[in-house]
Amino acid sequence: MDLRGRTAIVTGAARGIGAAIAGALVADGARVVIGDILDGEGEELAERLGDGAVYVHLDVTDSAHWQAALAEAERLFGPVSVLVNNAGIVEFGGIADQPADSFRRVIDINLYGAWLGMRTALPSLRRAGGGCIVNISSTAGLMGYANLGAYTASKWGLRGLTKTAALELAADGVRVCSVHPGPIRTPMTSGMDDSLTAGQPIPRFGEPEEVAQMVHFIITRATYSTGSEFVVDGGAATGITPPVNPST
Ligand code: NAP
């Protein structure tokens, strides 16, 4: 088990991609703090995962919550060497019509929350002697999407912040990478149908476990990668193949 004896925090981990990441890390021996604002689902997941997991209420935009989560992680399991900033929301709206408070909320959770997590966790990562931070961005951090300006800005911002953190934290032995999922079957995408994936080279939704496998790989195997982007999108960001008539 690669992660035996390691302490991890995964945010937004009560369900969806975060829950799959928490499960993969526990399965490999890590002790995982599941942070979320969905207390019922978070506690149930921790119960299911057993002694290797504990749930804490962690709103990623709240500095006091971060301090408390880090303190609880250290008290129960020891210094944190893995941080996965996964918590995120999506809110639709065009440049012309998205309410300002909606734009700010998306940036606050998806970008500011990850920044706050990295800076709060840094002393613990140093006490652990180094480690790995994985920031869950999106294909919306690689290209544009109409009516998703706030989300796209937050995910490009997180990709940029990842590169800066990789440069700043290298001296502490901390690698920092971003992950860019395409459409993944979770509660976040429950209202979206299969037509969304029809033009992809792999024309289906991905599963949360397929993202979790990539995150696990980055933490345990990608030892020469930092500031790097890892894409898990069925080829969505590669481009859409237009219909081609070979006879013309
Ligand atoms: P999800 O099923 O909605 O799970 C996200 C979790 O984060 C939810 O439990 C959510 O709680 C929680 N959360 C929201 N605001 C929070 C806050 N302030 N502090 C802590 N937790 C908070 O979404 P998902 O699909 O698993 O997405 C996980 C990450 O992957 C997100 O960053 C998302 O942007 C990214 N992503 C997802 C996809 C996809 O297709 N699913 C694609 C690309 C990237 P609430 O339900 O109360 O909001």
* Burial readout 214-243 (b: 16 or more C-beta within 10 A, e: otherwise): bbbebbbebeebbbbbbbbbbbbbeeeeee
**pLDDT value, residue 239:** 77
243 within domain boundaries: no
Q: Relative to the CA of 12, which ligand 1 atom is closest?
A: 7
Instruction: Determine, yes or no, domain membership for 141.
Output: yes
CATH of the domain at 189: 3.40.50.720
1 in any annotated domain: no
The verdict on residue 239 lying in a domain is no
Close Cβ partners of 109 (under 8 Å, ≥ 6 residues apart): 60, 61, 87, 88, 89, 154
* 18 close to ligand 1 (CB < 6 Angstrom): yes
> Within a domain: residue 242?
no
Q: How far is the CA of 245 from the centre of ligand 1 (A)?
A: 41
Which residues, given as ranges, of the chain have pLDDT below 70?
Answer: 240-244, 246, 248
2 domain-assigned: no
Number of domains in the chain: 1
Active site residues: 151
Task: Kindly report the pTM of this predicted structure.
Answer: 0.97
Domain enclosing residue 84, as ranges? 7-231
CA 137 to ligand 1: nearest atom: 44
Asked if residue 117 has its Cβ within 6 Å of ligand 1, the reply is: no
